[in-house]
Amino acid sequence: MEIKFYNSLSRRKEEFVPLTPGVAKMYTCGPTVYNFAHIGNFRAYIFEDVLRRALEYCGYRVEQVMNLTDVDDKTIRDSREAGLGLSEFTERFKRSFFEDIALLKIEKAEYYPAATDHIPEMISLIKTLMDRGYAYRADDGSVYFSIAKFANYGKLSRMDMGAQRPGERVCNDEYDKDAVADFALWKSWSESDGEVFWESPWGKGRPGWHIECSAMSMKYLGKTFDIHTGGIDNLFPHHEDEIAQSEAANGCRFVNFWLHCGYLTVEGEKMSKSLGNFYTLRDLLEKGYKAEEIRLVLLGTHYRKKLDFSFKALGQSRRTLESFAELFRRLGSVEVKVSKGLGKLLRDADEGFSKAICDDLNIAGATAVLHGLAKDVNKLLDMDKVSEEDASEVMKLFRKFDRIYGVLPLDVAPEGDSIPEDVSLLLDERRAAREQKDYAASDRIRDEIRALGWAVEDSASGQILKKLH
């Protein structure tokens, strides 16, 4: 199926055509491992995950690279503060990053290259840029890219560097660059770097911020590849600089499709530590929210729009997941034998869902299809018009939709094994009371069970126990 993406380069939706038929090669800007990732970061990773899942949904084999930035100003600063070596310091954040994305049901990329494992590749790329005349060594020993030499500079961000007003936010004197917008490829060692440095043809130092993405994408995906993504804040200067470096060095197009996701706010405000609305995944888990609920909130709006993360939305997600769990439970206990056939209903839903997803990842449209199908199926279940065979077809389709969502409670086992003994005894007692139509006792026991953290609902087939949150 044809899939369309909004390409930041052309500023319009374009049909996705990969370089190699059937294969989608993508580079996704990953974490800087100097701290625990926050929900703003996860918004981006979840967007990238949906992109990946959508490509797979459409039959592509995905080759994804997500870099781990394990050396930069902040990483060096904080590792020194912690009194740890760089790799020792970043190791725990790398580990927690992988734990977090697993909890959030983010599919793993094929490659997670770390910057510090690719210094030779970066040096070699910088050398090429020097040889081709795009880079120069400044008096401070650092190597800079000269944007004046690259005619296409600004094609992604549509910035006319000549029209900018340099110097308003940055003091020119701090730099030994020829032009303010020139950016560092190699930063010469300074005292604040401590033990962190590598030898290079330009003396000891460390790579600039942008060069790792060029060097590593090239290594794993080739000089030209299909998709590059990141947060909108990376569009300039990071991605613009990547294009400049890569295309200047290779003399060919760097990336065909650039996709950027919007910002995340928390309760309507920009997330920041000073506002006290800065949340990591573990912060939210400690508050009792589940990773699935968090993922669903982050899936709540189109990736290019700004997304407001709120506790109200988290609560809504919980209810949504519970109502789906209830539907799947009902589907699992169908006893009707004769099938009326739900063919058209399922076909329409399938088609509507794919159409939405393939239209620049219209997740909200897809979610409407999901809810529409749930409502239709519930209606039929109320009328006893769903056979066992129909139910399994319906489940199969929801399972297919979940290849995108990754959070549907498809395999909700009846809370069986986890029911505490006291609750289980009360349940038996209540059943006995109900058999004797002793509703006063039944209601009293229901309250007792509720006090223990469980809700009891009565249905035609008996009592249904649900854990309260």
171 contributes a contact to RNA by CB under 7 A: no
102 contributes a contact to RNA by CB under 7 A: no
181 contributes a contact to RNA by CB under 7 A: yes
Residue choice 458, 462, 468, 469 for contact with RNA (CB under 7 A)? 458
230 contributes a contact to RNA by CB under 7 A: yes
Q: Which of 332, 422, 456, 425 is nearest to 465 (CA)?
A: 456
Instruction: Spell out where 347-442 has E strands.
Output: none
459 contributes a contact to RNA by CB under 7 A: yes
Residue choice 61, 92, 282, 319 for contact with RNA (CB under 7 A)? 319
Inter-helix orientation angle 388-405/39-57, to 10°: 130
Alpha helices in 82-134 (DSSP H): 86-103, 119-131
Q: Which is nearer to RNA, 131 or 458 (CB)?
A: 458
Shortest distance (Å) from residue 64 CB to RNA = 15
Shortest distance (Å) from residue 209 CB to RNA = 5
Give the range of 26-34, 90-98, 219-227, 394-402 binding RNA by CB under 7 A. Answer: 26-34
Alpha helices in 186-232 (DSSP H): 211-221
Residue choice 2, 11, 337, 344 for contact with RNA (CB under 7 A)? 11
Distance CA 331, CA 190 (A): 65
364 contributes a contact to RNA by CB under 7 A: yes
Q: Which of residues 248-277 bind RNA (CB under 7 A)?
A: 261, 263-264, 270-271
353 contributes a contact to RNA by CB under 7 A: no
40 contributes a contact to RNA by CB under 7 A: yes
Strand partners, 38: 280
Handedness of CA 109, 111, 114, 115 (dihedral sign): negative
Q: Which residue has the tokens 């009360």?
A: 426
Q: Which of residues 289-308 bind RNA (CB under 7 A)?
A: 300-302, 305-308
CA distances from 433 to 75, 276, 443, 452 (A): 64, 51, 10, 19
Inter-helix orientation angle 119-131/211-221, to 10°: 100
Give the range of 50-58, 197-205, 397-405, 455-463 binding RNA by CB under 7 A. Answer: 455-463
Q: Which is nearer to RNA, 138 or 159 (CB)?
A: 159
Pattern of binders to RNA over 378-407, x per CB under 7 A?
A: xx-xx-------------------------
Shortest distance (Å) from residue 191 CB to RNA = 20
The DSSP-derived string for 383-406 is TT--BHHHHHHHHHHHHHHHHHH-
Residue 23 DSSP class: E
